Chain A
Amino acid sequence: MSMNLVPVYWLISAFLLITALQSWRVQGARNAVFWLMLAMLVGLADMLSDQMLGAGVLLVGLAALLNRPIVVDEDAARLARNKMADFAAEAGLKLGSKLLWCVLLLPVITVAATLLLRKQHAAGSLQFELNYAPIFALAFACVIVPLAIWIALRFSPKHSLAAGSDMAHQIGWAMFLPLLLAILGTVFAKAGVGDALAAWLPSFFDIDNRYACAVAYALGMALFTMLLGNAFVAFPVMTAAIAVPLIIARHQGDPVITAAIGMLSGYCGTLLSPLAANFNLVPAVLMNLDSPHAVIRAQVATALPLLACNIGLLCLLVYR
């Protein structure tokens, strides 16, 4: 038997469609366009040609720009919030630890399903790309747990979906950014940005000094990741530009240590990047933070010393 991610795409598409309908009802058609188009693209991607899909992606980006921030009637919202909080406090005390079990059920099912899928894969009874296992498992758990909540806590899946759509509205365009960044990375790769950087960057430091090369690689990974929002996009580019020609080939540095610590230097850049939507922007929205950059500010004091550690470790270990 073989398996692919198509059912997962359909689930995502269906959820986005529900979000679009709810958006239409609550906020009007203008905001619903973004959700509707995104739902169509995710669900129908396998049936559209590459070009059609590409045009659709750029249009979704435009539709997201049209989205108005949600206008809230402050008094009504406060009243509703208080009412909801009262209800939640009462229910929370009554339901107690059942709630905790349900929230823990999500990772437990995900991990169990991942292990089961891996086992099936190893036994050869199920064919799929091994990297898909955790994605498939997570989607499966996300279907099961609302059903468990229905049975154990008498909260119907219809209400769960409506509440989840509210949260999706809150996140809004930020959920589209990681996809767009992955696409930008592919465009950069095809356009030869890595080669261009490789030709240009070494004019900024002394390439005969092996420590200067190590410092340049770690700093370059952090800065480029900060700019691109994604260490996985920066890694092939900076590795082609500095690590392979200079650290490894010219100065006989250890390739494994170079790559491992270079990537982790990039993660320090992720902690500082306003484009790293999943890690910095989405939590700012989820936690109701006033500034979209509040999470980044809370991370500066970890990212900078850690980057210094990485630079030190790289210089110390790579040329042993």
Chain B
Amino acid sequence: MSDNAPLLGVLLLLVCFVLRVHPLLAVSLSAIVTGFLAELGAAELLAIVGKSFRDSRFLLVFVLVLPTVAALERLGLREFLARWVADSERASLRLVLGSYFLVRQLSAALGLTNLGGHAQSVRPLLVPAAQAAALKRFGILNHLQDQRLKAFCAGTDNVALFFGEDIFLAFGGVLLMQSTLASYGYPTDPLLLAFWAIPTALCALLIQSIRIARFQP
């Protein structure tokens, strides 16, 4: 039984999930309960939490992008882009979403994951362009349609990023796979790991392209 005890921490997370407990509370509780069930002791658990925070605080680096994006928005970047798309005859919703997806997936595959992001490019660039293109095709969108359009833009960025970045051989995910396999005695070539991400990347491209072509807000 004691071997299985840590699994109760995972179960707790699942229960919190279903009961819609605040995510911060759910994750903290799960960490604390798992630690105690594994008999780690309070001091050791706090030390693990602290060290892990120190090693992963770089994840907050994205907040540094906010002043630039917010400033350009105040200066009218969205309005400028909306006019640009509205004035262009060829800029359809499909073209806007499709070309964004392609550029984002290709650049992620080349390791340029910082080229875009929800704060850097989806909110300031993709959403206003898509809104202007949708206006031309579907007329003024109601609130629900506008919400669906914006959510679809965010999803398009995620899919392009996730299924592009794994093709880049110096990407953290590729290195994690390599080190995990190596720890079980299976040395692997990162180049091959990256290569075998290509079939799924092509499937993602196909599926998202079909969805973009059929998308109506």
User: What residues make up the interface of A, taking CB atoms closer than 8 Å to B?
Assistant: 5, 8-9, 11-12, 15-16, 41-42, 45-46, 48-58, 61, 64-65, 84-85, 87-93, 95-97, 99-100, 102-103, 106-107, 110-111, 114, 130-132, 134-135, 137-139, 142-143, 145-146, 149, 153, 155, 157, 159-161, 163-168, 173, 175-184, 186-188, 190-193, 195-197, 199-200, 227-228, 231-232, 235-236, 239-240, 244, 248, 255-257, 259-261, 263-264, 267, 270-271, 274-275, 277-280, 282-284, 286-290, 294-295, 297-299, 301-302, 305-306, 309-310, 313, 317
Contact = CB atoms under 8 A, between A and B. Distances in A.
Contacts of B127: 287
Contacts of B75: 88, 91-92, 95, 99, 149, 153, 155
B19 interface: no
Interface in B144-165: 147-148, 150-155, 157-159, 162-163
B114 A187 contact: no
A139 B61 contact: yes
Given A261-B199, A295-B154, 7 more contacts: A61-B28, A89-B79, A92-B83, A180-B31, A191-B6, A191-B9, A264-B200
Contacts of B123: 283, 286-287
A287 B153 contact: yes
Contact of A50 (B46, B81, B148, B159): B46
B116 A232 contact: no
Interface string B159-196: 10011001000101101110011001010110011101
B31 A192 contact: no
B61 to A, nearest CB: 5
A255 B40 contact: no
Contacts of A195: 3
Contacts, number: 413
B54 interface: yes
A299 B53 contact: no
Interface stretch (B88-96, B134-142, B204-212): B204-212
A175 to B, nearest CB: 7
A57 B53 contact: yes
B102 interface: no
17 contacts: A15-B66, A48-B50, A134-B113, A146-B71, A149-B72, A149-B75, A168-B63, A177-B23, A182-B52, A187-B52, A195-B3, A235-B180, A236-B180, A256-B193, A259-B188, A284-B154, A306-B163
B105 interface: no
B85 interface: no
Contacts of B181: 239, 255-256, 259
Interface string B59-103: 111111111111111111111110100000000000000000000
A135 to B, nearest CB: 5
B4 A164 contact: no
A57 B49 contact: yes
A12 B64 contact: yes
A56 B49 CA distance: 10
A289 B151 contact: yes
B67 A161 contact: yes
A271 B64 contact: no
A191 B38 CA distance: 5
Contacts of B200: 261, 264, 306, 309-310, 313
B10 A227 contact: yes
Contacts of A87: 74, 76
Nearest to B198: A260
B13 interface: yes
